[in-house]
Structure 1
Amino acid sequence: MEWFSAEGYWLSRLVFQRALAVVYLVAFLAAVRQFRALIGERGLTPVPRYLDRVSFRQAPSLFQLHYSDRFFATVSWLGVAWSAGLLLGLADDLPLWANLLAWAVPWALYLSIVQVGQVWYGFGWESLLCEVGFLAVFLGPADVAPPLPVLVALWWVLFRLEFGAGLIKLRGDRCWRDLTCLYYHHETQPMPNPLSWWFHRLPRWMHRGEAAANHVTQLVVPFLLFAPQPVRSVAAVVIIVTQSWLVLSGNFAWLNVLTMVVATTAAGGALWGALLPVEAAAGLGDPPGWYAVVVIGLAVVLAVLSYWPVRNLVSSRQVMNTSFNPLLLVNTYGAFGSVTRLRHEVVVEGTADAVPGPDTVWREYEFRGKPGDVRRRPPQVAPYHLRLDWLLWFAAISPGYAQPWFPALLAKLRQNDPAVLALLRHNPFPDAPPAQVRARLYRYRFTDRAERRATGAWWDRTLVGDYRAG
């Protein structure tokens, strides 16, 4: 079955599987550390309340059978341990059927989490991890050649991810067409990182070059993923390099990392053989018949499910980051169809005064990732995902994004709720809860070079007014 087996991608599969295990590990750790405050039984949007409104068919999840915070923690820690085992290669030498099951476990566990994660798990990289994780189930162990249909399915994911993002930009904000979006993006992106200030201060001709390179990478290069080698490997390297640029310039959780992970499958074994001290396996046997039938059946299902994302890609009303089935397979992707020109931040403050007056001292809560203290350098967070900080960026854009969780957040802060406080960098009321809390909206901008030298501040901010969730 020469058409079925892709022995030349043996090393590509090895790199992909190890790297995917790392992404799984980060994702499960984020779930362990944040779920109680966000979706736990006493969280901002509790899972039990959500499960009362949705059926298993709408949201297939282990937690439809049972939910408790202890059970969620068990599932998440099992995901951490399982991912670590996959990273160590413990599934490599398993029989074929057992290897498939080994990779199915983290997929099922993480899908279960995403399906009850509500707004906190509504990001494109969540559905991307579920889709890629599902395809990883069928790649097989070390002693079987990677099946070509599964590799093609992964390249199809990468195509939709890049091409969809390119189209949404071209159809969306005019600044992508006149190459000026990067004048603003590094400053107004959801969560700048330590290098974002310098990226923002690049000359404008470089910003235009960034935008032009983005169009080439997302609108032209994806088609080369289906070209023969070595063109396919060149396309993969271009995507990896451009995604690395995004990693350097901002915090986008594991979106860029996972995109690079998928791109590793398009790079042929010759490239990985030159980079890694690993010899590719030789003389791999033909796959068993049942395996070929399963993979061919998978290919047929994926082809049928591709109708909806393809229709979305060619539509003038293209939408971003949407799933068309409850298993989150064959999704549509995209990011930054519009770019905000001004950065606003919601700043939460508290006071010990029961009745605030003109002389009341308000003290600020500091979050782990989002801008707050103007003298604090933006931190490196990715590939970790600070879900509360990300949602606060959306809330600053429009109060409508703050429902229903933001009023609940303020209520938890008034109680000094330990789970919520664990998500913060600094609690200004460590001994007793505040008597009152409030939220204010500020306009933030990066300082220029002169301001940075004179003040040491990374940001300058101006009060806009009080903030109220819509």
Structure 2
Amino acid sequence: MPTDESYWLVRFLLQRGLAVVYLAAFLVAARQFRPLSGEDGLLPLGDYVERASFRERPSLFYLVPDDRVVGASAWTGVGLSIVALLAVPYWLPDRAALPASMCLWAVLWALYQSFVNAGQLFYGFGWESMLLETGFLAIFLGAGSAAPPTVVVWLFAWLLFRNMFGAGLIKIRGDDCWRDLTSMDYHYETQPMPNPGSWVAHNLPKRFHRFETLGNHVVELAVPFLYFAPQPYAAIGGTATILFQAWLMLTGNFSWLNALTIVQAIATFSDGVLTAVLPVDAPATTPTPLPQEVLAVVVAVVVVALSIRPVRNMLSTTQRMNSSYDPLNLVNTYGAFGSITRTRYQLVVEGTDAERPEEGDWTAYEFAGQPVRTDERPPQWAPYHLRLDWQLWFAAMRPRPGPRQRWFLAFLADLLRGDDGTCSLLGENPFPDDPPERVRVSRYRYAFTTPEERAETGEWWTRERIGTYVPPVTLADLQSGGEPDRRSTTV
């Protein structure tokens, strides 16, 4: 990236894209945090306060573990995300634009930090720390007519490089199917949450799957080195990355991971490239204020220093994926799908009011994103994140609930209580008026139908029951067995 390029339009588009991602993230927090990790959540807020230290996992909710504060913080984040999306700091005089922009992005970053650090298992995803790292860098971009500090744009490219190259390395080192180019034979069917395009992609010819797996390696292992090349080569690398992420968005629900990566890729462009391909003109800019330049250099020094451990991890043969090395998630390591599951397992939760239920007395709960009915088309949710559904995918990998699924029995207990918060996380509650007397959980093997099967039956999935995950239980059974919900942390 040559230093004589201008980045006013790059900054403007990057900030608007990041505002959209923040908006989705805070809407998720407003609707889901309290039933999942609030005062009476499946993993209660009190557990976080008891087990963590503020220094290790700082959060406003450590100081004030109150659902009202959680709700106010989430909706404040929604409102400030809209302010950022509307580019309000740009409406102000230049002398006020920079401090207003820095305050706006700093508050968004601090608020979301509180949710990530207090969210426990339900916020344990790589795109959480990635949003925080991206949001931290956005604080120093500025606003108004002044040009952004070029070094901060480079830091966005460095973040994108670690995001993509780390993902490429963990794949090529991990599962054999990435090396023999068969990973896409399984991925679309077994990924956490398929979308409407997943069925189509899964049924493409195997020759195409070999080609796209090879293309994945090129985009993640070779293309990232273009991010630091002169224009137009950096923009070519960014364009390849955006197209790659767009394909992933068309064929899967990966929360805002792909959208956020596209936002980061905007940093590989320059105003000259953008004005050449878009019907926009870059406005005349004034030089970056000296204090902002100095602060940007300080931030760059901090990021370089904090990058040492993530880079060592990335280059290590024992590479860890999606890890943070500081309590503020300033510089992290990334990587996804180092291994691919070959079989899709699903949990089907059913309830009944019958005193002595027969097989036909059980009615299944519908989830918002995980398949239950075989005739239901996989839904599109991303960039909105269904946190319960993602954990259900992880839980189904085991034949019984494990230590990391201690929330699951609390989930069943809430269904037996008819808890409004927990039921709001479902796709459909078959017991809207009175909760069932019993619930049970079966484990199934699901597979996509072929085009021929779909044409004949109208089904999207086939399934086969392979075992009992939780036998029929009542609320009294769960409570007498040491129910691991709001007031207990043992299973």
| TM range, smaller chain | over 0.9
CA RMSD in angstroms comes to 1.6
* Partner residue, 1:179: 181
| Residue 377 of structure 2 is aligned to residue 377 of structure 1 | yes
Q: Are the aligned partners of 1:414 and 1:434 in contact in 2 as well (CA < 8 Å)?
A: yes
Aligned-partner residue type, residue 259 of structure 2: V
2:172 and 2:12 map into 1 onto residues whose CA distance is 36
Identity percentage of aligned residues: 53
Distance 2:356 2:322 in 1: 45
Aligned-residue offset at 1:275: 4.2
1:387-434 deviations in whole A, cap 9, x for unaligned? 000000000112437522101000000011111111111111122111
TM-superposed CA distance for 1:7, in Å, is 5.5
- Point out where structure 1 has 5 or more consecutive residues left out of the alignment: none
Alpha-carbon separation, structure 1, partners of 2:395 and 2:4: 47
Partner of 2:304: 303
In structure 2, distance between residues paired with 1:283 and 1:198? 47
Describe the shift of the 1:325–1:6 C-alpha distance in structure 2 as closer, same or farther (beyond 3 A): farther
Counterpart code for 1:31: A
Q: Which residue is equivalent to 1:330?
A: 331
Give 1:146 shift: 1.3
Q: Following TM superposition, where does structure 1 have runs of at least 4 consecutive aligned residues deviating by more than 6 angstroms?
A: none
Note the 1:52-71 alignment, pairs <5 A: 52-71=50-69
Quick check: 1:191 aligned with 2:206? Answer: no
1:105 to 85, 95, 107: 107
Cα distance in 1 for partners of 2:404, 2:201 equals 29
- What amino acid is aligned across from residue 176 of structure 1 in structure 2? W
Whether the 8 Å CA contact 1:62–1:112 is kept in 2: the answer is: yes
**Distance in 2 between the 1:382 and 1:160 partners?**
23
Q: Residue 32 of structure 2 aligns with which residue?
A: 34
The Cα shift of 1:278 comes to 3.2
Amino acid at match of 1:79: G
The one-letter code sitting in structure 2 at the alignment partner of 1:338 is S
Equivalent of residue 237 in structure 1, options 232, 236, 239: 239
2:444 aligned counterpart, secondary structure? strand
Equivalent position amino acid for 1:308 in 2: R
1:73, distance to aligned residue in structure 2 (A):
0.5
CA apart distance, 1:285: 2.5
Shift of 1:360: 5.6
Find the aligned partners of 2:292 and 2:246 in 1 and give their Cα distance.
Answer: 36
Partner of 2:9: 11
Name the aligned partner's letter for residue 372 of structure 1.
Answer: V
**Residue 441 of structure 1: aligned partner:** 443
Distance in 1 between residues matched to 2:125 and 2:338, nearest whole Å:
15
The AA in structure 1 aligned to 2:65 is: Y
| Equivalent position of 1:76 in the other structure | 74
How far apart are residue 6 of structure 1 and its match? 6.2
Residue aligning to 1:367: 367
Structure 1 contact 166–218 (Cα < 8 Å) conserved: yes
For 1:406-445, list aligned pairs within 5 A.
406-445=408-447
Deviation at 1:298, TM superposition (A): 0.8
Moved more, 367-376 or 88-97: 88-97
> Structure 2: which amino acid aligns with 1:352?
D
Match of 2:346 in 1: 345
C-alpha change, 1:99 and 1:341, in structure 2 (3 Å) is same
1: CA distance, partners of 2:340 / 2:58: 34
Instruction: Kindly indicate whether the alpha-carbon contact (under 8 Å) linking 1:144 and 1:284 is maintained by their aligned counterparts in 2.
Output: yes
Is 2:152 the counterpart of 1:150?
Answer: yes
Letter paired with 1:78: T
Deviations along 1:81-114, whole A, 9 cap, x unmatched?
A: 0000110110223432222111111011101111
Moved more, 261-270 or 132-141: 261-270
d(CA) in 1 for partners of 2:164, 2:80? 30
1:238-265 per-position Cα deviation (integer Å, ceiling 9, x unaligned): 0000000100111100000000000011
Instruction: Tell me the secondary structure at the aligned position of residue 48 of structure 1.
Output: helix
Distance 1:7 1:88, change over 3 A: farther
Helix, strand or coil: the match of 1:462?
Answer: strand
Superposition deviation, residue 453 in structure 1? 1.1
CA contact (8 A) 1:443 1:464 kept: yes
CA distance in 1, matches of 2:383, 2:288: 38
Instruction: Indicate if the aligned counterparts of 1:395 and 1:401 stay in contact, CA closer than 8 A.
Output: no
Amino acid corresponding to residue 58 of structure 1 in structure 2: E
State the partner residue of 1:314. 315
* SS of equivalent to 1:205: helix
Q: Which residue of 2 aligns with 1:388?
A: 388
* Cα shift at 1:167: 0.4
The structure-2 alpha-carbon separation of the partners of 1:286 and 1:247, relative to structure 1 and needing over 3 Å to count, comes to closer
Within the alignment, does 1:258 sit opposite 2:256 as a pair? no
Aligned residues: 466
Other-structure match for 2:133: 131
Match of 1:96 in 2: 98
User: Would you say 1:51 and 2:52 are equivalent positions?
Assistant: no
2:148 and 2:288 in contact (8 A); partners too: no
* Aligned partner (choices 135, 149, 172) of residue 170 of structure 1: 172
Q: Aligned in 2, Cα 1:401/1:157: closer, same or farther, shift over 3 Å?
A: farther
Quick check: 2:162–2:333 contact (8 Å CA) kept in 1? yes
1:22 to 13, 16, 20: 20
Deviation string 1:21-41 (CA, Å, 9 cap, x unpaired) is 000001000111111210111
**Aligned counterparts of 1:144 and 1:401: Cα–Cα separation in 2:** 53
Alpha carbons 1:9, 1:268 under 8 Å: kept: yes
Is the partner of 2:268 in helix, strand or coil? Answer: coil
Query: Structure 2, unaligned stretches of length 5 or more?
Result: 472-490
Cα deviation digits, residues 254-302 of structure 1 (max 9, x gap) = 00000000001111112321344432122412422x2222111111111
Task: With the length of structure 1 as denominator, give the TM-score of the two structures.
Answer: 0.96
- Which secondary structure does the structure 1 equivalent of 2:267 belong to? coil
3-state SS of the aligned residue for 1:439?
Answer: strand
CA contact (8 A) 1:353 1:360 kept: no
Aligned to 2:455, the other structure's residue is in SS state: helix
Opposite residue 394 of structure 1, the aligned amino acid is F
Look up the equivalent residue of 1:138 and give its one-letter code: F
Measure, in 2, the Cα distance between the counterparts of 1:95 and 1:264: 22
Q: Could you tell me whether the CA contact under 8 Å between 1:7 and 1:146 is conserved in 2?
A: no
What amino acid does structure 2 have at the position aligned with 1:262?
Q
| Alignment TM-score, normalising by the size of structure 2 | 0.92
